[in-house]
């Protein structure tokens, strides 16, 4: 997610894509409040214990759908978009499979206001617009292509069902020659998204 480079926050420091663009940016990128510090510390302890490696995410039902982004993060989604503090909607890992951070999300189907949850300032949240992600694997070569997506409106216009996205809709849009090229497909709905770094990241990346 390219937003991690432009808006990496809730960062834990030693001394915090190809994805659809944010429709509403965060309005608070300042220092963490005590309640926010507590939330981040809790997330760090929990996720590093349960999901230290990408294989742990896969075992828990998360699926990979991106290449490394500008921060080196590879995203895995559980395709469940209503998060609680112990169930992030996405986990992200470096190329060695080590946990880097997570996204927590709240659906925004009808323009709902920024969430007021977990002691986090509502201004920390970003909005991402709805789109359908899919992963392509060439049946003959086994080569996999990540970071593929279609706007929800275009998917529906092509006859697709967002509740049950079908590879056949991707075929009808001319993206792949046949449905057996699609190994993963899911809707990434319009959401409020909270980006949480659980490992220190490079000093040239923005943080708060």
Instruction: Enumerate the β-bridge partners of residue 133.
Output: 149, 186
Which pLDDT score is estimated for 27? 84
With CA atoms as reference, report the closest residue to 131 among 190, 182, 77. 190
With CA atoms as reference, report the closest residue to 191 among 112, 116, 127, 102. 127
In 10 A of CB 182, how many CB atoms? 21
The 10s digit of each residue's pLDDT in 164-197 is 999 999 999 999 999 999 999 999 999 999 999 9
Which DSSP letter does residue 32 get? P
Count of residues for the chain? 208
Distance separating alpha carbons of residues 2 and 19, to the nearest angstrom:
7
Which pLDDT score is estimated for 200? 67
| Burial class for 142, CB neighbours closer than 10 Å (0-12, 13-18, 19+) | exposed
With CA atoms as reference, report the closest residue to 76 among 86, 163, 59, 189. 59
Distance separating alpha carbons of residues 170 and 203, to the nearest angstrom:
40
Which pLDDT score is estimated for 30? 85
The 10s digit of each residue's pLDDT in 46-72 is 999 999 999 999 999 999 999 999 999
Which pLDDT score is estimated for 8? 42
Would the pLDDT of 160 be above 70? yes
> Cα angle at 159 between 81 and 183, to 5 degrees?
55
pLDDT band of residue 23 (cuts 50, 70, 90) is low
Distance separating alpha carbons of residues 93 and 112, to the nearest angstrom:
30
| 94, 100 contact by CB (below 8 A) | yes
The 10s digit of each residue's pLDDT in 115-130 is 999 999 999 999 999 9
| 111, 126 contact by CB (below 8 A) | no
Which DSSP letter does residue 113 get? P
Whole-structure pTM value? 0.86
Distance separating alpha carbons of residues 52 and 97, to the nearest angstrom:
8
């Amino acid at each position: 997610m390219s937003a991690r480079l432009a808006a990496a926050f809730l960062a834990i420091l030693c001394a915090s894509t190809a994805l659809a663009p944010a429709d509403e940016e965060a309005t608070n990128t300042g220092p963490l409040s005590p309640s926010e510090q507590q939330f981040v510390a809790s997330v760090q302890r929990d996720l590093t214990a349960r999901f230290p490696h990408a294989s742990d995410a896969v075992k828990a039902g998360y699926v990979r759908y991106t290449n490394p982004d500008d921060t080196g993060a590879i995203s895995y989604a559980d395709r469940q978009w209503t998060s609680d503090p112990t169930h992030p909607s996405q986990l992200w890992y470096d190329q060695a499979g080590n946990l880097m951070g997570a996204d927590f999300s709240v659906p925004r189907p009808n323009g709902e206001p920024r969430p007021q949850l977990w002691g986090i300032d509502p201004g920390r949240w970003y909005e991402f617009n709805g789109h359908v992600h899919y992963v392509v694997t060439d049946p003959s070569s086994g080569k996999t292509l990540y970071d593929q997506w279609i706007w929800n409106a275009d998917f529906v216009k092509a006859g697709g069902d967002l509740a049950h996205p079908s590879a056949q809709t991707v075929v009808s849009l001319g993206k792949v020659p046949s449905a057996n090229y699609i190994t993963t497909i899911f809707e990434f709905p319009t959401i409020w998204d909270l980006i949480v770094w659980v490992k220190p990241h490079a000093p040239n990346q923005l943080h708060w």
